[in-house]
Chains A and B, each alone.
Chain A
Amino acid sequence: MTAKKESNKSKNKDKAKVKAKAQDQEQIEKKSGLAIFIEEVSGGSLKIPVLAIFTGLLAGGVIVAITTVEMYQAFGQGSIIEGLGIGWRAIVDSYISLFTGAIGDPPKIIEALSSGDDVLIRKAFNPILESLVLSTPYIFAGLAVALGFRTGLFNIGAEGQLFIGAIVSVWIGFSFKGLPSYIHIPMAMLGGALGGAAWGFIPGILKAKFGAHEVINTIMMNYIAFRLSEYLLRGPLMRPDSFNPISPFVEKSAELPRFFEDPIRFHLGFFIALGVAWLVYWFMFKTKWGFDLRTVGANPNAARYAGMNIVRSTIVAMSLSGALAGLAGANEVLGVNHNLALAFSSGYGFDAIALALLGKSHPMGVVLASILFGTLRNGAIKMQIAGIPVDIITIIQSFVIVFIAAPAIIRTMYRMKEKEGGDEPVFLSKWGGN
């Protein structure tokens, strides 16, 4: 087959080559920023992720309908049409409340804008900004797992690293007093990153030096982190005037600045997350260090053959991954809660695994996936008020992940043709295995 292609090519080889060269150069020049991102994230097409999300929402709708008790009551009274109507209305209602909860209510926004009232405007724009607030820890944690994946490591320990990051940065936040913000904030963020890095470094060195599998060790490190934070919050870090396991509030100077007045919590953390995502992209794809890590992840044998230091790469990658997860924790305590409570994370570190998969372990993909997750989470709160259980959102998220992880399902459903050369598998086949 290829021989045929080759012979055709060799006929006008020179022509083709000149052309190809010109094209290559053009591509490098033209294809920049977003274009490369999108291509790399979607493997040349955004179709699958978009369809996966759409199908996930569709499937979620079906579940909303079949869990609506009133529908069965109508069925019981022999009125099928009415029952279906009720089911349909339940779906529409829940998605409307999801939308207004997550993005905002367009009529209200227009009304608020035309009234010119500050408070109304803030309330109207709060949902979409709150979605971004909820997306922020997802971005950090998703980047953490994605960086691990790219290096062939499966970091399940993002949650634990996030806790340690939060502990360190909350401690820096409340125990240093009288510092200016421009010193206190970076110090607290950096402290969080270092805490997470230390928590990633341990399984990293265990893997690199002794071959202990990082999946097992990061899980164990999670438990240590949970119990450690429990101990600290009931002991040394407990707020003196409290009987609950809660830390003192951080100093004002350590709080990530918010851009608007209450109730809008939108804070600098989101932009820091975007900056860090860009930094991770630059590091992984534009520097020789990133080249090292990606090669070790894609083919450790070839990396060794090419003279790369696998031991060092493994330790570096686990530490960096931990640092990113630590930033997620720091962001939550410095930007949102301003203190540390035991239940401050709703499993960001575990959702992060799904985000890294959804974003194909590419920073830009992770950002997009995180915003999707944050938005769904935020909308879910409003949905719950409308009487739809919040678990529906979890189910929708799970559907989306299944469809992304198994693109064949989507392709079969929408009768799409298989791409030449097949899909790049979302999962790394050898997840840190040997």
Chain B
Amino acid sequence: MSGEEAVVARSALGLVTVNLAAVVEQASVGADPYRIDADGAPYVPVGDGGVVLGVRLGDGAWAHVGDHAAPGACLVHADPAAGYALAAQACIGNLVTVRTGAAAGAAGAVIGKRGEGGRVIASFAQDVLARLRPGDQVAVRSRGQGAPDPAPGVSLRNIDPALLDALPVSAGSGVLAVAVRAVLPSMIVGNGIGRPTPMWDLDLQLTPATAARHEAAGLCLGDLVAITDLDARFNAGYRRGWLSVGLVVHGGSPQPGHGPGVTVIATGPAGAFAVRADPAGHRGLSEAAVAEAVAAGAGRELS
């Protein structure tokens, strides 16, 4: 079988769906309450993992006094290897069902993942989030890794292809057309570069002050962004003439080398994309789209 035939054959394979167990994370800090910001000032990190209330998809990436604050709850697994599998296999749009605790029976959806610790970010309605408690058990209906290329040369990562319809993404005319908030140079990427894309997000080293230089001052949670000269098929790294597109899944960070996090969903040669930046009017993943994904997923449960 030639390489090309192998690619075609793989694209015809059915996606595998796996029920993954996870627990709602408790935010944790070390013995020292302080982290050091980019200017050398100590601060107490708030919102870095666990259950975060009041941070919503569509909020500004720097709207809250937080450190990597994500819109929803982070999901983890106590066993490190199972945690890596959780992070690697969970995909944006996957159904998340709460199995224990006061919110048992409620459902949400995966909207992204975070690096190193094997964390998955799940969005729930605010009233569900308020009933969630760290340690509650959830099930993630994972599906998406291995999805067929949406356009020639473009690889998908970390997204259930069914959710692409909820994003400003279309695969007509032989290229992947994507509307984004901003197009950013790869040198902006900090933590996450050189790490495996299916298990790690890419932090944008931007502050409200520097974002304006890249027409990204209006960056919001749930936005799509494009990063130039970045190949994110395996590890993320510099490759001239490539492009990666991802979803903004957590807010800014005072730490040097960190910032709003991007979970990569598509990567390929720049010519395989048609990217349109709309710094003011862009609309990425909305809470309504998440609710629809949850309803569709829950509906499949009943059918």
| A and B assemble together | no
Partner-B contacts on A (CB < 8 A) = none
